[in-house]
Structure 1
Amino acid sequence: MATVSSTGLGSGLDVSSIVNQLVALERQPITQLQTAAKGIQTKISAYGQITSLTNTLRDASAKLAGSSLWQQSSASSDSTALKVSGSGSAAAGSYTVSVQQLARAHSLASPAQASAEAVMGSGQLALTVGGSTTTLSFSEADTTLADIRDAINASAAGVSAAIVSDVNGARLTLTSRQSGLAQAMTLSATDLSGGAASGPFASLGYPGGMVETQAAANARATVNGLAVESASNQLDGAIPGLSLNLQAVTSTPAEISVSSDSSSQKAAVQAFADAYNALNNYLRTQTRYDDSTSTAGTLQGDSTAVGVLSRMRGMLRESSSASARFGRLADLGFDVQKDGTIKLDNAKLDTALAQPAELAKLFGASGSSGDSASQGLALRMRKLADSLTGYDGQLSARSDGLRSRLNRNGDEQDRLETRVSQIQARLLRQYQALDASMSQLNGLSSYVTQQITALNKSSSG
């Protein structure tokens, strides 16, 4: 605020003091607005901190609700013979696996021909694979070995055909596209009318002209001493939740271990509790009246802040039907204190961590549409945090409202500052004019006094 420093020109009138005091009275509404602005800014800062703490809780909740945290990890002692995958829902433990035989596809080879362009003649081939028969007709007398290969590959017979040349010539090789005993092939070579084939074409039958180069076979293994068999080298279901990829026959049993990272899981639970406690403590401090210091929190009586604290605390008491083993956070060792904070019972939590699949449900189950009771508790907390901090959430709306109030306050201060400046200038002009008038009157008074004195002296003389 500008101050006036001019003094009376001779009247003795303290113009600056008078104007400054009058202007100070006019500035009182501005001072009140400045005090109010500081209070609003303090609330905006408080809501910024609440939003930050809520986002931290949101992230901690999202981690607990995520499936990756609770997935089991698996390892094989002999990855060259046996690989393991898909261990998310497998029960923790150790398994002994021995591989006696790998699954194989059926392979056949025809008698040698001069070349891939050797003429085989006309006829029909009936290929039976896995109980399904595909019949191919070759009506041209000049059908070549390559033509037969191409026709088989273009069909849906489930057979891969190729021509391989060795020292004796070109051979048609057939391999079933899938492994296992059930995929063994048979071929019937006939003439176009279904009678016996003649010439080179007749050599394409099996059993008959073609020879077996690899017998079809199922994979055979034992898991914890129990025999298992599969048409492929991928064993699914032998160990629930695990997929065993057989790579080679084992000379000694391979050990498979399935375990969960309980230390990371426990750290995630602790991070959730810490994030919740930080938000609870801040909200509690900001919304209460401290009798010991006779000090009110910045947000005492603020319905939004009080409501957020109430909703967060209420969430801890909710239950979920997602898990058959756990229903509430209290079942995991969450002990809610009088001040609303969480204290973890580590012994109880360690016991619960032995069942990661159930914890995954309790925390992260998506549940049924419209049935919040079937949803995971951490998922619900994450959704609540999202709803509070989102574009149109309570925290965002409250912060926006406070910023609007602060802007209006600033506009009003600017308006009043302009008004006070105008009043100050007007008062200065008025009191300077008064000062000048009083100075003239003082001069006239002095002159009159001098004249009277002179007259008195003249009369007495």
Structure 2
Amino acid sequence: MALNNINYDPKTTATNLANSYVAGSQSMIDSRSKVATATKTALTTLSSAMGAFQSTLSSLSLGSKTMSANAATFSSAVGTATATSAAIAGTYSFYVEQLATAGQISYGGLSDTTAAGSGNLSVMLADGSSFQVSLTTADNNMDGTLSPKEIAAAINVAASNNSRITASTMNINGATTLVLTSNLTGAANGASLDTGGVTNAALKAALDDANNQKQVVAAQDAVVWLGAKTTGTQITQASNVFSVIDGVTMTFTKAQAANEAPVTLTVAADSAATNANVQSFVDAYNKMLTTLDGVTDVGDPGKGVGAAVFASDSGLGALRNRLLGTLRTAIGGQTLVNYGISAKRDGTLALDTVKLGKAIAANPTGLDGLFGKASLSNSSGVLGALDKLMGQWTNSASGQLATRKSSVDKEQITLADRQAKVQAQFQNAYNRYLVQFTNLQTLQSKMNNTSSLFTALFSSNNSSS
């Protein structure tokens, strides 16, 4: 009978045996790779959360920004105003006589075929300064002529312009007009052209012709009165942005009519903005803490929830405790709790705006003193302490996160090397087993053929007898 009771595929058998041969090493690599990947993902999540929290701390410390906020509003639409926490509450009267404007002058009657090489053109500013414009090199397309657009381009790129004047061209009634616009407002920034150095007679005549010159917008200073017009104090300056009141910036956008009464500027505490500032801190802290709790969660075996990768990490446990300790810091005898910011059972914060408002009313400067600033040049209060604590983890060179990421990267490189070695071991074992079982299959086939021959022979003899 045929020896066909054993059926197998050499490739499948070789693969299974080779897998079995490296199973122990592969299992170890898979297990460590899984932990390394989970660790790196958790570190990236932590880095993002801590970075976002630090960004909020910084945004609450920018420039003169403080947690407590003031608002400045006009009684009618003459402009806008902002107030820092340094502004003193009160009311002020202003009359806006005129706004500062940027001068604009146009020059018409220019030809598009002025001969190139026309000397120098001077741009004169009302403050007595000037700068030279070379027309000799202004022929950009090298066609031998000088167009108004090329003159405008030469003015804009002049070395001494320093972006004080912008030149452009307009097409008015089929004729090209050169337009000069001051980039700064104020009477001292008006501009005009001096053609004393222009050698082309036609161009010089066109620019000097008073009929071709139009004052589109006269350059002028802003004139604002503190109090009523004529009886108050006149303030004249080149800009429409005024900072005559400590902590208040006013930007005027509309002049008043001659018979209008002065407008009233009111500076007062802005409780809504203050609440929003404190709430943004609370929200940012809670979001960061929730992420921290997520990567250190101990899990719940009873519910089939496994522990997070940093469940037993003492460093992150210490960080959480230091965060809570920082929030309890007393500055000037006050803590966050005094201003309505308290920790819930899970460690996240909650804000009581009513308590916050009462605390600010009782101690207007206490909130800013407690929170302080989070900046390299001015680190203080709760914001500064939290930013410093976060920096110990987020610093790109020496922070805990960078150190841990580096360690994980090295681990993954090591595992990749080991994986390559295991793969080589698998391939060698596979090749060896494939040869062995291919030979065995060939031998089995030969034996089956021999068995079939004997079976046929003996069957034939039995039939003859």
Give the structure-1-normalised TM-score. Answer: 0.54
Residue 400 of structure 2 aligns to which amino acid in structure 1? Q
Larger radius of gyration: 1
Matched, 1:277 2:286: yes
Higher mean displacement: 442-451 or 351-360 = 442-451
Change (3 A) 1:84 1:30: closer
Matched, 1:91 2:88: yes
Post-superposition Cα deviations, 1:168-196, rounded to whole Å, max 9, x if no partner, equal xxxxxxxxxxxxxxxxxxxxxxxxxxxxx
Matched, 1:41 2:52: no
Residue 363 of structure 1 aligns to which amino acid in structure 2? F
Q: How far is 1:441 from its partner? A: 5.1
In structure 1, C-alpha distance between the alignment counterparts of 2:420 and 2:448, rounded to whole Å: 42
Q: How far is 1:333 from its partner? A: 0.9
Alignment counterpart, residue 20 of structure 1, candidates 15, 25, 35: 15
Matched, 1:340 2:347: yes
Q: How far is 1:311 from its partner? A: 2.7
Matched, 1:431 2:437: yes
Alignment of 1:355-370 (within 5 A): 357-365=365-373
- Across the two proteins, how many residue pairs are aligned to each other? 316
Matched, 1:327 2:327: no
Q: How far is 1:298 from its partner? A: 3.0
Change (3 A) 1:356 1:399: farther
Secondary structure in structure 2 of the residue aligned to 1:339: coil
Counterpart in the other structure of 2:394? 389
Change (3 A) 1:252 1:49: same
In structure 1, C-alpha distance between the alignment counterparts of 2:367 and 2:438, rounded to whole Å: 84
Q: How far is 1:427 from its partner? A: 0.8
Where in structure 2 are there 5+ consecutive unaligned residues?
A: 96-224, 228-232, 238-243, 251-259
Counterpart in the other structure of 1:414? 420
In structure 2, C-alpha distance between the alignment counterparts of 1:362 and 1:407, rounded to whole Å: 47
Residue 297 of structure 2 aligns to which amino acid in structure 1? R
Secondary structure in structure 1 of the residue aligned to 2:303: coil
Where in structure 1 are there 5+ consecutive unaligned residues?
A: 1-7, 100-218, 222-229, 245-250
Counterpart in the other structure of 1:318? 329
Q: How far is 1:376 from its partner? A: 1.5
Residue 431 of structure 1 aligns to which amino acid in structure 2? F
In structure 1, C-alpha distance between the alignment counterparts of 2:355 and 2:262, rounded to whole Å: 37
Residue 320 of structure 1 aligns to which amino acid in structure 2? I
Alignment of 1:297-316 (within 5 A): 297-316=308-327
Alignment counterpart, residue 58 of structure 2, candidates 47, 56, 62: 62
In structure 1, C-alpha distance between the alignment counterparts of 2:265 and 2:273, rounded to whole Å: 22
Counterpart in the other structure of 2:297? 288
In structure 2, C-alpha distance between the alignment counterparts of 1:243 and 1:274, rounded to whole Å: 30
Matched, 1:380 2:385: yes
In structure 1, C-alpha distance between the alignment counterparts of 2:352 and 2:443, rounded to whole Å: 88
Post-superposition Cα deviations, 1:293-329, rounded to whole Å, max 9, x if no partner, equal 24212321133433332332222122334xxxx6321
Q: How far is 1:445 from its partner? A: 6.4
Secondary structure in structure 2 of the residue aligned to 1:335: strand
Change (3 A) 1:367 1:419: closer
Residue 322 of structure 2 aligns to which amino acid in structure 1? R
Counterpart in the other structure of 1:261? 270
Secondary structure in structure 1 of the residue aligned to 2:350: strand
**CA RMSD across the alignment:** 5.0
Q: How far is 1:272 from its partner? A: 1.4
Q: How far is 1:391 from its partner? A: 0.7
Post-superposition Cα deviations, 1:80-124, rounded to whole Å, max 9, x if no partner, equal 9xx9998642333x346799xxxxxxxxxxxxxxxxxxxxxxxxx
**Does the aligned pair in 2 maintain the 1:74–1:87 contact within 8 Å?**
no
Counterpart in the other structure of 1:116? none
Q: How far is 1:365 from its partner? A: 4.8
**Does the aligned pair in 2 maintain the 1:89–1:357 contact within 8 Å?**
no
In structure 2, C-alpha distance between the alignment counterparts of 1:442 and 1:398, rounded to whole Å: 63
Counterpart in the other structure of 1:163? none
**Does the aligned pair in 1 maintain the 2:94–2:265 contact within 8 Å?**
no
Counterpart in the other structure of 1:141? none
Identity percentage of aligned residues = 24
In structure 2, C-alpha distance between the alignment counterparts of 1:368 and 1:281, rounded to whole Å: 27
**Does the aligned pair in 1 maintain the 2:69–2:273 contact within 8 Å?**
no
Post-superposition Cα deviations, 1:204-238, rounded to whole Å, max 9, x if no partner, equal xxxxxxxxxxxxxxx999xxxxxxxx9x999xxx9
